[in-house]
Amino acid sequence: FGWQSTLTASSDRVYDLVSFIALPWSWFVPEFLAHPSLEQIEGSRIILKDGISVLATQDLVSWWPFICMGILFYAVIPRGFLIIIGILAQKHVLHHFNFKRPRFKLLIVRMQSPVLDYNADKTQASQVSEENLNNNIKENSSFKTRQDVPGQKALLLLSKNVYSDEIIKSVIKGIETHLFFNVKEALGISFDFNDDADIIRQKSQEDVDHVILVHEVWQPPIRGLLHYIKQIKALMPQGRLLWILLTQDAGQADLSVDNTDINYDVWKKAVFKLENPDIVVKRFI
């Protein structure tokens, strides 16, 4: 190896630069291996008009140890150190990662509760092909299957004075479709803790994974209602989620709540102030 520069750099300055770069290994490596000497640097300088043929071979090869040590200390070792730090950091984060947080638990529920629905009806087939393909679809009946994998069980809490039986069925269908929960029972409550405490305590201790409280979004989360929610959560086993499912007015045909609904934002802020990660606000879709 040789060197040249378009700058007005003397051999002394190059030697100082090379010595500085070699500091990480020059303390334990012999000087003749740590970096080229001043004479070797002067002897390996390439002058364009003279070419490289006039340079001594021993001066050119003196750069080899310096270059190899530079690659080792400035490329290999730092990268290896960063890889080790990254692996340790990854293990630390995964070890302390709380998969039971609501947003991640819901994702796990969705992954564990798939619903496969391959319909090959005549109406759907006509959108893809002509009548010649309809016969093949009918003959291959294996393409028309539905497999429901049981999801996690949920207990539904709501006022049956507000929600009719038909609306409750619609709510349950929405829960099973979007939250992938199997509603085990729809329990009517009065939103009076003294009246509801015993039955909620009994039902929430049974074989259910989630408790869902259905409420109309337009009704504000007043202090008494939030206190009632906290009392319900206290009756449940530790770690079990309490979902607050918000719907539109029970008298409306469409119960779905838009993500930009101002009442929905009010509910989210109010529940967030409860500082309980096991109480989750969800809008009906």
Domains and CATH numbers, the chain: 11-95 (no CATH), 115-148 (no CATH), 151-283 (3.40.50)
Distance CA 13, CA 177 (A): 73
The per-residue pLDDT for 156 is 93
Residue 106 has what pLDDT?
Answer: 67
Beta-ladder partners of 186: 156
Q: Which pLDDT belongs to residue 150?
A: 55
Q: The whole model's pTM is what? A: 0.57
Q: Tell me the backbone φ, ψ of residue 223, rounded to 5 degrees.
A: -60, -40
Beta bridge partners of 281: 244
Q: Which residues, 6+ apart, have CB-to-CB distance to 13 below 8 Å? A: none
* pLDDT for the residue numbered 104: 73
pLDDT, residue 100, reads 67
CB-CB contact of 123 with 157 (8 Å): no
Give 4's DSSP letter: -
Residue 221: per-residue pLDDT: 92
CB-neighbour burial class of residue 28 (10 A; exposed 0-12, middle 13-18, buried 19+): exposed
Tell me the three state secondary structure of residue 232: helix
Strands 210-216 and 241-247 come out as parallel
By the 8 A CB rule, do 39 and 14 touch? no
pLDDT of residue 141: 42
**Which pLDDT score is estimated for 63?**
79
| AA identity, residue 130 | E
Q: What's the confidence (pLDDT) of residue 268?
A: 92
List, in sequence order, every beta strand (DSSP E) within 49-111: none
For the chain, residues with pLDDT lower than 50 are 116-131, 133, 137-149
Mean model confidence pLDDT for the chain: 79
